[in-house]
A and B are shown apart, each in its own frame.
Chain A
Amino acid sequence: MKKETLAHFVDYPNLVLFGFLLFFVCFLGVLIWVNLKSRRHIYQNLQMLPLESDELRGSHER
């Protein structure tokens, strides 16, 4: 049934396996990309973004 359904788009016998591998490789790629050690410092910096607004610095009085 999966094959019949996917055949609606492309009639290729190994499309189910190909689709699975494509998604899985993409997922692994993102995992590796995100977890590169060299990025730790950048992430630490970026996660401070919401804490940098003026409310915390007490300057919303004007």
Chain B
Amino acid sequence: MEEKSKTNNVSVKEFYDDKIVRYFLYATTGWGIVAFTLGIWIALQLAYWKFNFNMEWLTFGRLRPLHTNAAIFAFAGNAIFAGIYHSTQRLCKTRMYSDTLSKIHFWGWQAIIVGAAITLPLGFSQSKEYAELEWPLDIAIALIWVLFALNFFMTLKNRREKHMYVAIWFYIATIITVAVLHIFNSIEIPVGYLQSYPVYAGIQDALVQWWYGHNAVAFFLTTPFLGLMYYYIPKAANRPVYSYRLSIIHFWALIFIYIWAGPHHLLNTALPDWAQTLGMVFSVMLWAPSWGGMINGILTLRGAWHLLRTDPVIKFLVTAVTFYGMATFEGPLLSIKSVSSLGHYTDWIIAHVHGGALGWNGFLTFGMIYYLIPRLFGTKLYSDKLANMHFWIGLTGILTYYISMWAAGITQGLMWMAIDETGNLVYPDFVETVTRIVPLYWVRAFGGFLFILGAFIMLYNLYKTMTAEGAKAKDTPVSKPLQPREKGPEYETSHRKLEGLAFTFSVLSFMAIAVGSVIEIMPILSMKSYVDPQKIVAPYTPLELAGRDIYIREGCYTCHSQMIRKLPFDVLRFGKASTVEESMYDRPFQWGSKRTGPDLSRVGGKYPNLWHYRHMNNPRDVISQSIMPNYMWLLTGKTDFYGLRRKLSVMKKLGVPYEDNVVAEADRFAEAEAEVIANDLRQQGVKDKHLEQREIVALIAYLQALGQKEKKPTPVKEEVAK
């Protein structure tokens, strides 16, 4: 199907590189199916725990990060690259700077995704949301991103159209900011081939992670897609963007304000109040530029509203922008402290995220694919009818998903908040608030099924389009820039100059995102300002640290928080509100963002060791209605005692006050601790000759330490001391 882009006497430079666009489009559709399938799978796991299949590689805790990474970096990522490679060449009226760099970018990115698909189910995770990949993959991402940036900026340098259209501005902001976010959030020290500890701890790690996490949404799932919106809606509707003025305000206001909003993920937590307020205020301010952009996108259709009835591409694109409007209304709303106290940790956030991911990113991508594939193959779409069918089935799927998770989130949030006239919780059993919403998990899974059904219809339609008679993959000749803009003093304004100077524009974009980042993060990096010396806690013992690594490996943070908010109903349910000091040695922090299970900050000492042993083997042995998977492999897996010296050594370098002899003999200390717990379990009837070596013992040590670090020495430490 490929037709070589070099013919007699015609240089390859006279054609756009559309082959790379097609490759990224194929990857988008392929990985999209993978990401959606994983989504349905983990949705079913929450509806019915047996879908975890009692296999360690397939539990919710390990597959959920794979789902989010596949959706963000594989599906949306490849879609962004396809759109950027296609539109940048046309807007710059030149071929990409280097075909080799484009190919390295494509294959390198796919290799990273495959790496993620292998390592995450195996439990190699940093447990930082959307940044779970371990250090070798982090380095690979940084390298590939830099090569992509080089290719992009050199293309800008070689451009034949002096003025950079608004879509390019959004691409510039994306490339610069994602690099900054990724590099700063990934500063970590390896403790193994596929394990590392971040240099940040506790509130630092929480703030840096959510500065990254929120801005991954902002600069990976929003700004590049806005660039695509500014290019593909005018193209599909064949009319210019509604307001160029508005696009300037939209761009600068959005990138300046967005970067500050991260702390709204940490409202009512132990994060200092000033940072929470800053995050909330800037999130509310985001309403204006976000809606400015949405209005600009939708009103581009002025005078051509009939296309909404007749053109499936327009249907997808405009619905995507509508979802953008809904999600960017809901986001600031959820960032208001009082609303967050209801919505945070519930499925309302999941609804919000999927409104954005499925509606905004998904539909914009589908619209772009339907626009591009026929043009890249020099033919017409095989069936508008099938595309319309995809649209309506997909839309029904998103709405089913969205509404069911709204209902689930608000129901559960209200149940958590309910306090009776005697001052007690109305629903004290956490599991009761979970089982109440399980029917809605089935509805959500059905919504996801409809969405993926639509995607399969698209696949069939695209296949028939690409294999239709006369369809041929071909490159497009490079356009010539129009002359009037090249000359004439009336265009040599400051505005004109700024948007014609790629380097200056990039520096200003960097400054716009740097201001908020520096002001917000710098003060937190000196943690001692926020730690009360009287409340400093003891660091984890070697065995507790080993157990913590198992907790991280299993992805427990995907369902359990370790942050009791300063809210009456949280304190009534879980105990005293969490403090800065309690997580000051936590690398990475484990505050979590969702409570499918209860908060674990103060679970230490709440239950006997045997309870945890039975609970991990089969949660239904101790909580009959639990939806948690079985973790029976922890009862047979061996704890890595020997790696502990290295791990404690790294922790000590990072400032954790371990004694030298504890570091030097970490494994022996851990074995001694394990013996205490193992003996306790044996006394209660557990039969296992090698119980001391089992992972379950290390995990129990960690769980029993949670919330107990202020009461030192712990019972385990006393025994070890003896």
Question: A9 contacts which chain B residues (CB < 8 A)?
Answer: 519, 522
Q: Known: A47-B244, A50-B235, A62-B477. Is A1-B482 also a contact (CB below 8 A)?
A: no
Q: Evaluate contact between B378 and A61: CB separation under 8 angstroms.
A: yes
Answer whether residue B245 sits at the interface, using C-beta atoms and an 8 A cutoff: yes
Answer whether residue A30 sits at the interface, using C-beta atoms and an 8 A cutoff: yes
Q: Known: A34-B248, A55-B375, A60-B375. Is A42-B495 also a contact (CB below 8 A)?
A: yes
Answer whether residue B490 sits at the interface, using C-beta atoms and an 8 A cutoff: yes
Question: A8 contacts which chain B residues (CB < 8 A)?
Answer: 522-523, 526
Closest to A6 in B: B519
Answer whether residue B266 sits at the interface, using C-beta atoms and an 8 A cutoff: no
Instruction: Give the distance in Å from the alpha carbon of A59 to the alpha carbon of B90 in the complex.
Output: 14
Q: Evaluate contact between A51 and B235: CB separation under 8 angstroms.
A: yes
Closest to B472 in A: A61
Q: Evaluate contact between B245 and A42: CB separation under 8 angstroms.
A: no
Question: A35 contacts which chain B residues (CB < 8 A)?
Answer: 245
- Mask of B226-268 contacts with A, CB within 8 angstroms, 1/0: 0000110011001111001100110011000000000000000
Q: Known: A1-B274, A41-B490, A51-B238. Is A60-B476 also a contact (CB below 8 A)?
A: yes
Q: Evaluate contact between B249 and A31: CB separation under 8 angstroms.
A: yes
Instruction: Give the distance in Å from the alpha carbon of A34 to the alpha carbon of B231 in the complex.
Output: 21
Question: A59 contacts which chain B residues (CB < 8 A)?
Answer: 477
Answer whether residue A14 sits at the interface, using C-beta atoms and an 8 A cutoff: no
Which of B161-169, B362-370, B404-412, B456-464 lies at the interface with chain A?
A: B161-169
Tell me what chain B mostly uses at the interface: helix, strand, loop, or mixed: helix
Answer whether residue A46 sits at the interface, using C-beta atoms and an 8 A cutoff: yes
Question: Which one, B240, B495, B499, contacts A51 given CB within 8 A?
Answer: B240
Instruction: Give the distance in Å from the alpha carbon of A47 to the alpha carbon of B238 in the complex.
Output: 12
Question: Which one, A43, A45, A56, contacts B485 given CB within 8 A?
Answer: A45
Instruction: Give the distance in Å from the alpha carbon of A6 to the alpha carbon of B476 in the complex.
Output: 54
Question: A41 contacts which chain B residues (CB < 8 A)?
Answer: 490
Instruction: Give the distance in Å from the alpha carbon of A19 to the alpha carbon of B527 in the complex.
Output: 24
Instruction: Give the distance in Å from the alpha carbon of A41 to the alpha carbon of B91 in the complex.
Output: 20
* Chain A 32-55 interface residues, beta-carbon cutoff 8 Å to B: 33-35, 38-39, 41-55
Question: B523 contacts which chain A residues (CB < 8 A)?
Answer: 5, 8
Interface range on chain A: under 10, 10 to 19, 20 to 34, or 35 or more?
35 or more
Answer whether residue B87 sits at the interface, using C-beta atoms and an 8 A cutoff: yes
Closest to A8 in B: B523
Choose among A1, A31, A52, A56 the residue with the greatest number of B CB atoms under 10 Å from its CB: A52
Q: Evaluate contact between B238 and A56: CB separation under 8 angstroms.
A: yes
Question: Which one, A4, A38, A43, contacts B245 given CB within 8 A?
Answer: A43
Question: Which one, B165, B378, B474, B490, contacts A46 given CB within 8 A?
Answer: B165
Answer whether residue B618 sits at the interface, using C-beta atoms and an 8 A cutoff: no
Distance from A45 Cβ to chain B, minimum over Cβ atoms (Å): 6
Distance from A54 Cβ to chain B, minimum over Cβ atoms (Å): 5
Q: Give the B interface residue count (CB, 8 A).
A: 46
Question: A27 contacts which chain B residues (CB < 8 A)?
Answer: 253
Question: B272 contacts which chain A residues (CB < 8 A)?
Answer: 1, 5
Question: Which one, A5, A42, A45, A56, contacts B274 given CB within 8 A?
Answer: A5
Instruction: Give the distance in Å from the alpha carbon of A14 to the alpha carbon of B482 in the complex.
Output: 51
Distance from B526 Cβ to chain A, minimum over Cβ atoms (Å): 8
Distance from A18 Cβ to chain B, minimum over Cβ atoms (Å): 13
Q: Evaluate contact between A50 and B87: CB separation under 8 angstroms.
A: yes
Distance from B626 Cβ to chain A, minimum over Cβ atoms (Å): 42
Q: Known: A30-B249, A59-B477. Is A49-B91 also a contact (CB below 8 A)?
A: yes
Q: Known: A53-B90, A61-B378. Is A48-B240 also a contact (CB below 8 A)?
A: yes
Q: Evaluate contact between A46 and B163: CB separation under 8 angstroms.
A: yes
Instruction: Give the distance in Å from the alpha carbon of A34 to the alpha carbon of B485 in the complex.
Output: 19
Q: Known: A5-B523, A34-B249. Is A54-B476 also a contact (CB below 8 A)?
A: yes
Q: Evaluate contact between A34 and B245: CB separation under 8 angstroms.
A: yes
Question: B519 contacts which chain A residues (CB < 8 A)?
Answer: 6, 9
Q: Evaluate contact between A50 and B167: CB separation under 8 angstroms.
A: yes
Question: B239 contacts which chain A residues (CB < 8 A)?
Answer: 51
Distance from B230 Cβ to chain A, minimum over Cβ atoms (Å): 8
Question: B241 contacts which chain A residues (CB < 8 A)?
Answer: 47, 50
Question: B7 contacts which chain A residues (CB < 8 A)?
Answer: 62
Question: B163 contacts which chain A residues (CB < 8 A)?
Answer: 46, 49
Choose among A9, A31, A35, A46 the residue with the greatest number of B CB atoms under 10 Å from its CB: A46
Question: A2 contacts which chain B residues (CB < 8 A)?
Answer: 274
Question: A42 contacts which chain B residues (CB < 8 A)?
Answer: 490-491, 493, 495-496
Q: Evaluate contact between A55 and B476: CB separation under 8 angstroms.
A: yes
Q: Evaluate contact between A49 and B522: CB separation under 8 angstroms.
A: no
Distance from A7 Cβ to chain B, minimum over Cβ atoms (Å): 9
Question: A33 contacts which chain B residues (CB < 8 A)?
Answer: 494-495
Instruction: Give the distance in Å from the alpha carbon of A59 to the alpha carbon of B496 in the complex.
Output: 29
Q: Known: A49-B161, A56-B238. Is A1-B273 also a contact (CB below 8 A)?
A: yes
Closest to A54 in B: B479
Closest to B168 in A: A49
Choose among A1, A2, A35, A60 the residue with the greatest number of B CB atoms under 10 Å from its CB: A60
Closest to B242 in A: A47
Distance from B543 Cβ to chain A, minimum over Cβ atoms (Å): 38
Choose among A42, A51, A53 the residue with the greatest number of B CB atoms under 10 Å from its CB: A53
Instruction: Give the distance in Å from the alpha carbon of A53 to the alpha carbon of B15 in the complex.
Output: 12
* Chain B 159-190 interface residues, beta-carbon cutoff 8 Å to A: 161, 163, 165, 167
Answer whether residue B423 sits at the interface, using C-beta atoms and an 8 A cutoff: no
Question: A55 contacts which chain B residues (CB < 8 A)?
Answer: 235, 375, 476
Answer whether residue B303 sits at the interface, using C-beta atoms and an 8 A cutoff: no
Question: A62 contacts which chain B residues (CB < 8 A)?
Answer: 7, 474, 477
Question: B273 contacts which chain A residues (CB < 8 A)?
Answer: 1
Q: Evaluate contact between B375 and A45: CB separation under 8 angstroms.
A: no
Question: A47 contacts which chain B residues (CB < 8 A)?
Answer: 234, 240-241, 244
Instruction: Give the distance in Å from the alpha carbon of A8 to the alpha carbon of B528 in the complex.
Output: 13
Question: Which one, B167, B231, B244, B252, contacts A43 given CB within 8 A?
Answer: B244
Instruction: Give the distance in Å from the alpha carbon of A47 to the alpha carbon of B465 in the complex.
Output: 31
- Mask of B67-90 contacts with A, CB within 8 angstroms, 1/0: 000000000000000000001001
Question: B161 contacts which chain A residues (CB < 8 A)?
Answer: 49
Closest to A57 in B: B479
Distance from B302 Cβ to chain A, minimum over Cβ atoms (Å): 13
Choose among A5, A27, A31 the residue with the greatest number of B CB atoms under 10 Å from its CB: A5
22 intermolecular pairs with C-beta atoms under 8 Å apart: A1-B272, A1-B273, A4-B274, A6-B519, A9-B522, A30-B252, A33-B494, A34-B245, A45-B485, A45-B491, A47-B241, A49-B91, A50-B90, A50-B165, A50-B230, A51-B239, A52-B479, A52-B482, A53-B235, A55-B235, A59-B477, A60-B474
- Give the top 4 A-B pairs by smallest Cβ distance, nearest first: A43-B244, A47-B240, A49-B165, A1-B274
- Beyond A1-B274, A52-B479, A60-B378, list 7 extra A-B contacts (CB 8 Å): A30-B248, A30-B249, A33-B494, A44-B244, A45-B484, A48-B240, A50-B167
